[in-house]
Amino acid sequence: MKEGGKVSKTLDLLGFFCPIPIHETKAAISSLSVQLESDTTWVLEVVCDDPETLRDIPTLCDRMGVNLLEVVENSGEYVFFISNTSDNRLKGAGQDE
């Protein structure tokens, strides 16, 4: 993750298919929103291999009012970085410079 951002929680959902990745991601977003103070920035990293998540997770983020910072695809695995902020310092999370 680039400097300025830190992953608060990682969900490893490899091997799970719809609806599990969406259900678990929604639960994690809700949990982070409740656990951390409202002015605390959090970043959720979701790792999965269900291609449906490429459509479903962005939709979930829109509906929950959180920001999808980045999606990284590598050999059929997808890593989503989701945050409660649109801070540009967090963009590019998970990529090496």
Assigned domain for 94 exists: no
The per-residue pLDDT for 36 is: 72
- What secondary structure letter does DSSP report for 87? -
Place of tokens 């801070």: 87
- C-alpha 60/C-alpha 55 separation (Å) is 9
Domain of residue 61 covers 9-89
What domain count does the chain have? Answer: 1
3-class state of residue 38 by DSSP: coil
Assigned domain for 59 exists: yes
Assigned domain for 1 exists: no
pLDDT by residue (tens digit) across 50-96? 999 999 999 999 999 999 999 999 999 999 999 998 664 444 444 44
pLDDT by residue (tens digit) across 2-28? 444 689 999 999 999 999 999 999 999
What is the helix (H) or strand (E) element at residue 2, kind and residue range? Answer: none
- C-alpha 62/C-alpha 53 separation (Å) is 14
Nearest one of 5, 12, 3 to 43, comparing CA atoms: 5
Domain containing 48 — which CATH number?
3.30.110.40
Rounded average pLDDT over 35-49: 87
The per-residue pLDDT for 6 is: 86
